[in-house]
Structure 1
Amino acid sequence: MSLKTLENSLHVLKYFTRQTPSWGVRELAKKMEVNHSIIYRILSTFEESGYLYQNPETKKYELGLRFLEYGEMVKERIQLSSEVYQAMRRIVDQTNESVFLTILDGDEGVTVEMVETTQNIKYAVSIGTRSPLYSGASCKVMMAYLQEDHQERIMEKGLESLTPNTITNPQELKKDLVRIKSQGWCLSTGEYANDVFGLGVPLFDFSGNVFGSLTISGPVYRLSSIDNDQTVAILKDEGALIQRYLKHIKYNR
């Protein structure tokens, strides 16, 4: 297998997301603008190895059980300790909002842990959810601390509007990132999900590089009851403890 073939095959897997968990051959070929015979060979090869499963009724391909095994291996590597969970639990107790731990992975943020508030109306996402770095507090607060060439590369790929409040103008986004880095935290309202706010702080590894974020989130109508300065202080205090346990994490910058 050539390096280019391998690259194309791995690129195919990126299209299997929570939003589109299954694909037909011609459907995916059209989406990727690739000949359907090439897509068929790639999907068939992944199916034979257990990475994909073809639904016998719909004939569409879905992720196979082998990824479940790999997911468990990644969870074991990250080793989220009870101390990390307890730190997040304390944040929920003090802010009365859900808290999310997000890890930087290339050009995306991945939710690796979440502790929910007990309030009836709350915001929640599934563990493993991937999000673009240019939208929402948990991701933008990480993007603000990336090297400028990395930021440029993300913006060159295009800024998709997830909600009417998503910043899709590169120059406007650059100014926002400078402001976020200057103040050391990020507040977003309705950028990633409608009527949802996020308030997050960055997490750094032993070399001072950003590797994650810690963010509270909830419905926008409760934002008026949030004391930004006090909440940021809580996130930073507990974040310092979390950094201590997670500095060993390796990720793709």
Structure 2
Amino acid sequence: MALKTLDNALEILRYFTYEHPAWGVRELAKELNISHSIIYRVLATFEDHGFLVQNEDTKKYELGIKFWEYGLIVRSKLRISDMIYPTMEKLANETGESVFLTWLDELEGICVDIAESSQRVKFAVSIGSRTPLYAGASNKIIMAYVPEKDQLAIIEKGLQEFAGYTIVDPQKLLKNLEEIRLQGWCYSLGEYSDAVVGVALPLFTRKRKITGSITVAGPEYRFPESKVREVLTILEIRTSEIQAYLDTIL
């Protein structure tokens, strides 16, 4: 397969997201402005290899079992279940709020794991969901540490208002990112979801390249600004434990 053809085929796969997990041939062709015959051949090839399956009822294509297998390989490599999640669970119990592990994937954040709060009312995000790096503590702490050219590339794509306090002014966002990087942690209120507070710390590779974040998040009425310093102190302790582990594998 020519590199250009492979590149186009992989670009098509990027459209299968948590928010839009199934696509019809003509629907995807219109979205990409590519001939539906080309889209069909690509999708059919992925189906032959188990990367996609066609729903018998809707005739739309969905991600196949192969991606689940590869996801397990990555999860096993990071040893999330037995090395990272227990620390996240401790953090959730200590703070009374949900804890999120977010990973940097190109120029987006992807929720890799969640230790849910025991509270009846909680901030819910689904594992596997992708979110832009400019909205919310879990993402902005990552964006603060990516190279400036990547920050500008994200801004160039456009800043969408997700909630009442999403920063959509490029200059204000860049200034905010600089402040976050200087202080080493991020606080957000109502940026991705209204009335939701998040406090996040970055995670790095051994070479100090940003790779993800750990975030404590909950509803504003239960997580007032006066509680942030207390939560941050606990978050710093648990994040240092996770970082120490990541330093041995990344």
Which range, TM-score by smaller chain? over 0.9
**Alpha carbons 1:81, 1:245 under 8 Å: kept:** no
- Count residues in correspondence: 250
Alignment deviations for residues 125-168 of structure 1 (CA, whole Å, 9 cap, x no partner): 22222221111100100110111112112222222332343222
The residue number in structure 2 matching 1:24 is 24
| Equivalent-residue separation in structure 2 for 1:239 and 1:78 (angstroms) | 15
Q: Which amino acid aligns with 1:245?
A: Y
Measure, in 2, the Cα distance between the counterparts of 1:154 and 1:35. Answer: 28
Shift of 1:177: 0.3
Aligned to 1:141: 141
CA RMSD of aligned residues (A): 1.7
The alpha-carbon deviation at position 69 of structure 1 amounts to: 1.0
Q: In 2, Cα distance between the equivalents of 1:192 and 1:232?
A: 20
The TM-score normalised by the length of structure 1 is 0.92
1:7 is matched with 7
CA deviation after TM superposition for structure 1 residue 43, in Å = 1.0
CA distance in 1, matches of 2:50, 2:32: 22
The offset of 1:225, in angstroms, is 6.7
Q: Match for residue 57 of structure 2?
A: 57
Provide closer, same or farther for how the CA distance between residues 130 and 226 of structure 1 changes in structure 2, counting only shifts above 3 A: farther
Q: Which residue of 2 aligns with 1:189?
A: 189
* TM-score, normalization by structure 2: 0.93
Describe the shift of the 1:103–1:249 C-alpha distance in structure 2 as closer, same or farther (beyond 3 A). Answer: farther
Structure 1, unaligned runs of 5 or more: none
> For residue 48 of structure 1, what is the amino acid of its counterpart?
D
8 Å Cα contact 1:98/1:114 also seen in 2: yes
Q: Which amino acid aligns with 2:31?
A: K
Contact 2:137–2:198 at 8 Å: present in 1 too? yes
17-26 or 102-111, which deviates more = 102-111
Q: 1:61 & 1:150 partners in 2: Cα distance?
A: 32
- Taking the aligned partners of 1:243 and 1:149, their CA distance within structure 2 comes to 26
- Do structure 1's residue 177 and structure 2's residue 169 form an aligned pair? no
Deviating 4+ runs (over 6 angstroms): none
- Counterpart Cα distance in 1 of 2:5 and 2:100: 37
Structure 1: distance between partners of 2:32 and 2:50 = 22
Secondary structure of 2:58 counterpart: coil
Unaligned runs of 5+ in 2: none
CA contact (8 A) 2:47 2:53 kept: yes
- CA contact under 8 A between 1:140 and 1:186: conserved in structure 2? yes
CA distance in 2, matches of 1:146, 1:225: 27
Deviates more, 1:1-10 or 1:150-159: 150-159
